[in-house]
A and B are shown apart, each in its own frame.
Chain A
Amino acid sequence: MGAEISVDELTVRYRSKNGNFVDALGPISIHVEAGEKVALLGPSGCGKTTLLKVAAGLLKPTSGRVLIDGEEPDLPRRRGEIGVVFQKPTLLPWRSVLENVLLPLRIRGRTDDRVKRKAVNLLRAIGLGGFEHSYPNELSIGMQQRCALARAMIQSPRVLLLDEPFAALDEMNREMLNFDMLRLCEPTHITALLITHNVYEAVLFSDRVVVLSARPGQKVTEVRVDLGPARDPRLLESERYYEHVISVRKALRIPRLMMAS
């Protein structure tokens, strides 16, 4: 079962190498229900990755906080309840696909035949069946990202954080992966936060699209996506889908105006 994520008046300020401060994010508040899928849409450099890192417990906020089921993200992360897929595949080049998927468990010292079978099944479900013993450099970027996704799912996390996981892929691959991912998520009622530049992807994946302003990213508006939980490729040919795409596009005009000012 998914956990709820509450982002509360969060701000992050970096100190860059030359000593200047960069306000990267916020203040921003977002509440994600347990089992809800939310897409974060915002211009480049607005602090999306920063927000995700805080939610994953990898970065301390400057002010405000993120709680996952009422806890600091560090705690569920240590329990393996947060799965993260980064912008780049970030696989260990010296480990096979299967070993990469099992990495989170191996670090915590719990690999047995049962989880190995689970990993093999996961890989099959994500379209990497038969590649268990290949090395990452023998896979295409799309396949590598599938592997990273399987790694994020291996511990059956309650929260899935996705940082533009498919940005490097072409349109077709991207669509296919989105559906594969939805299929993977559906029975788990996982809570998912998807960061993306892509309006189509945001609508396809989420129950709600949150639009962010330019840096420092703040919530500009949000659009509910009432397309139901089950999504299949036919959805992409439906009018309802495009209505949502259009309303998100309209919402996007607002941050553009804000950038111009």
Chain B
Amino acid sequence: MTRTKGSLISGTLTTMKEWWPSVALLGLLTLAVELFARTNSIPRVILPAVSDLAASIRNTGPSFLLRHFSMTAFESVAGFAIGAGVGFGIGVMMYYSRFLERILYPIVVTSKAVPLVAMAPLLTFWLGYDVWAKIIMAALVSYFPVTVGTVSGLKYVDQELTDLLKSLGADERKVFTEVRLRAALPNVFAALKIASVLSVVGSVVGEMAGSTGGLGYLLLASIYYVDVALSAAICLVMASLGLSMFTTVALLEQKIINWRPAVDTGNR
């Protein structure tokens, strides 16, 4: 059985073996930065070496960092889950009802048109300094792509397949679970992958607007103390959070969509 081999982006995650060029490139860049920083041609406080980042993490205390990481991770995952669920729900409703689509579409687009950074202080003002404001932020940024992906996925469905099911006496519920949903899944997952990374952006921006913890809060503090090494280290930790959420979604996708037609097998 041939399976499509490709990139994370196109939906299939393969073994580390195929990722070594990317890993090697990252390693080379890290090494270059490290070596360049060690020449001290730019002061280390401004351009810290990679080893300085590790040191700053050690000095700050890994368990302290982990606590803030957990908070941001919780907010991001919860926000993503809510956003994905609501986004999917709105997408399905918009697909089934012209009326709802007409009502919801402008609202959905408007909600996305308000800059995230502008929304953050408002939400903090309304919801307070605790995790809820951040969860809502994360949900607000993740639901939009999921709604768009769901609607376009459902619309893309091959009418011949739905006709076939109807001809076999299936009701709309069966048509939905057996055809529409499955046909929409590739689009939905593409959107979920985008949303998974965005949700981290949402919760971090929320934390930076006012919070008593989380990576965003820690980042603000490190910027305040001009601890560039720590700031950079926190950015990397944030990236690793986004990356692991993305990877989880991609793995889930690979598990669920196992029928992808064997087209575009990477012979580009």
Contacts and interface: CB of A to CB of B under 8 A. Distances in A.
Given A107-B170, A107-B174, A138-B1, A92 B161 contact: yes
Nearest to A135: B259
Nearest to B182: A94
A95 B161 CA distance: 12
B164 A90 contact: yes
Given A86-B160, A138-B1, A93 B259 contact: yes
Contacts of A77: 167, 169
A204 B166 CA distance: 32
Contacts of B158: 90
A56 interface: yes
Contact of A137 (B163, B164, B167, B262): B262
Nearest to B164: A90
A78 interface: yes
Contact of A103 (B1, B168, B182, B257): B168
Contacts of B178: 92, 107
A58 B262 contact: no
B114 to A, nearest CB: 37
A90 B161 contact: yes
Interface residues of A, number: 22
Contacts of B165: 107
A107 B168 contact: yes
Contacts of A108: 168-169
Nearest to B261: A137
A86 to B, nearest CB: 7
A59 to B, nearest CB: 10
Contact of B163 (A58, A78, A92, A104): A58
Nearest to A96: B259
A88 interface: yes
B179 interface: yes
A88 B261 contact: no
Given A88-B160, A92-B161, A92-B179, A56 B261 contact: no
A138 B2 CA distance: 8
B160 A90 contact: yes
Contacts of B174: 107
A188 to B, nearest CB: 20
A84 interface: yes
Given A88-B160, A90-B164, A135-B259, A107 B1 contact: no
Given A78-B169, A84-B167, A94 B259 contact: yes
A56 B168 contact: no
Nearest to B166: A58
Nearest to B262: A137
Contacts of B168: 103-104, 107-108
A103 B177 CA distance: 13
Interface in A91-138: 92-95, 103-104, 107-108, 134-135, 137-138
Interface of B: 1-2, 158, 160-161, 163-170, 174, 178-179, 182, 257, 259, 261-262
10 contacts: A57-B167, A58-B163, A58-B166, A58-B167, A88-B160, A90-B161, A92-B182, A93-B261, A107-B174, A138-B2
Given A107-B178, A137-B261, 18 more contacts: A56-B167, A57-B167, A77-B167, A77-B169, A78-B169, A80-B169, A90-B158, A90-B160, A90-B161, A90-B164, A92-B182, A94-B257, A94-B259, A95-B259, A104-B168, A135-B259, A137-B262, A138-B2
